[in-house]
Amino acid sequence: MTQLGQQRPPFTVPRPAPRRPGRPRRPRRRRLRLAAIVALLLLTVPAVSLTRALTYPGSAPASVRVVEWVRDNGGAGTVDALENWWYTRHPPPATGTATDPLAPQVHTAAPAAPAAAAAQLPRVRLLPLTRALAGEGRWRVAASAPAGSAHPGRPTLFTTWFRPDARHATVVVAGALLPRGATALHLVAGTREPVPGLHSPEGFRVPTAQRGALVAVFNAGFKTQDSRGGWYAHGRAVVPLVKDAASLVIADDGTATVRAWTGASRSVPAGVSAVRQNLALVVDHGAVVPGLTSNTGQHWGSSHNQFQYTWRSGVGTDAAGNLLYVAGRGLTLPTLAAALVDAGAVTGMELDIHTGMVAFTAFPHAAPTGSKGYTTMKLLTTMPQPRDRYLVADQRDFFYVTAR
């Protein structure tokens, strides 16, 4: 208490202790430390995820693993845009030497189809007003039933090649025909497709016990998350089947049919052993399905995917029930569909696309069980797959063919 007339001293706020030069305040230091931890986590989590993708069991090139990792982690739209930009701007040459010049030599070296068999094979339709090259459009015997089988020497695989694109006469498509009644088709899961971690009775590869009768192996369709369809085998719909989706349906006896699915989503009729669906039919009643160029509703993949000039593959059945497989590079979706029709398909569907995804290997002379002495032949010599693909565990699902 002050005396009367004595002034109260002014109120003052104590000054903070002077901060030493160069020494940050503690809150700022904590914020910097927190930011560093967050940045490290943001870098570490993708790095761990990518490392797992690169080391996941099953055969697959590193380039394919990286692209699929980007797709699976929110980059599907970016990948689609880049692919559309690249492939639509790099069409094959309109004139010049065929893009697969060795293909005619490979297939011409095989013996011509016997007259009796040739009479039952579909006639390959060649480009109008274009002079056919030597051997173009002729079916050749690429594999026969091995000795010791019920019908030794009976043809189990015919191959041919032809040019399907009048605007790009350098593009070559190869065709393979698997005779109905002489071969059996099998569907095998990969380590990642149709779903990661799925048990495979075959071990994600061609079973050793079946290799003595092995005729061919070839790729399946898009990843199931992109296929707009399902996957059924061994009595289980691993991915629910989709009504009206293009389906490669395998019966218990190994015969195969391509058709639009009309059954249930999780159960199949008696006598069906496997179903692989992919997008919608591209060939129906022997003609190209209308609407491929507009791709309304993205029934045939992402927008503008149908215009990409890239590796493509497809499968169909002809009027006699034979299974047809066609593949080539520099193909748009309409060109692939036209090639299926040219090869004789009554119904047809697209399978996988792009380099490394399209693979067909024939085994003209199957090796004894347990032997590694296989004779192999790529359907097109420019296909990049290793000769033992699908003989070792693979990440993608696939088909293999055996002689009955």
Residues 59 and 174 placed together within one structural domain of the fold: no
pLDDT computed for residue 282 by the predictor: 98
**What is d(CA 316, CA 332) in angstroms, rounded to the nearest whole number?**
17
- CB-based contact 376:362 (threshold 8 Å): yes
Whether residue 112 is found in the same domain as residue 82: no
21 within a domain of the structure (yes/no): no
Q: Are residues 356 and 240 in the same domain?
A: yes
- Lowest mean pLDDT, pick from 8-22, 136-150, 161-175: 8-22
Output the pLDDT for position 232: 97
Q: Which residue has the higher pLDDT, 99 or 160?
A: 160
Strands laid side by side in the 256-260 sheet: 236-239, 231-233, 272-277, 246-251, 256-260
pLDDT in tens, 254-285: 999 999 999 899 989 999 999 999 999 999 99
Indicate the range of 92-106, 135-149, 205-219 predicted with least confidence: 92-106
Q: Is the pLDDT of residue 13 over 60?
A: no
Residue 21 confidence class, pLDDT cut points 50, 70, 90: low
Helices and strands, number each (H, E), in the chain:
7, 18
Q: How confident is residue 339, by pLDDT bands cut at 50, 70 and 90? A: very high
What does the block give as tokens for 14?
């104590």
Report d(CA 217, CA 350) in Å as an integer.
Answer: 17
- Mean pLDDT across the stretch 185-197? 96
Helix (H, G, I), strand (E, B) or coil at 44: helix
**72, two tokens:** 């699976």
Residue 86 or 196, more confident: 196
Coil, strand or helix: which one is 106? Answer: helix
Average pLDDT over residues 79-89: 81
Residue 98: pLDDT band (50, 70, 90) is confident
Q: What is the mean pLDDT of the chain?
A: 85
330 CB-contact burial (10 Å; exposed 0-12 / middle 13-18 / buried 19+): buried
Residues 229 and 348 in one domain: yes
Picking from 88, 116, 137, the residue at the C-terminal end of a domain is: 88
Same domain as 220, residue 269 = yes
Q: State residue 120's pLDDT score.
A: 83
Is 60 a member of any domain?
A: yes
pLDDT tens, residue by residue, 100-141: 655 555 566 667 777 667 668 999 999 998 888 888 999 999
290 falls in which pLDDT band (50, 70, 90)? very high
What number is the average pLDDT over the span 32-46? 66
Judged on CB neighbours under 10 Å (0-12, 13-18, 19+), 64 is middle
How many domains does the chain divide into?
A: 2
Clarify whether residues 61 and 157 are in a common domain.
no
Alpha helices in 71-161 (DSSP H): 76-88, 103-109, 115-118
**Is 164 inside any structural domain?**
yes
Same domain, 268 and 357: yes
Mark whether 238 and 274 lie in a shared domain.
yes
Looking at the structure, tell me whether residues 111 and 81 fall in a common domain: no
Residue given tokens 């496997």 in the structure block: 274
Q: Give residue for tokens 């347990």.
A: 370
Identify the pLDDT of residue 92: 87
What is the pairing mode between strands 310-318 and 231-233? unpaired
Give the residue numbers spanning the domain of 303: 103-403
Name the pLDDT band for 370 (thresholds 50, 70, 90). very low
Residue 169 main-chain phi, psi, to 5 deg = -70, 0
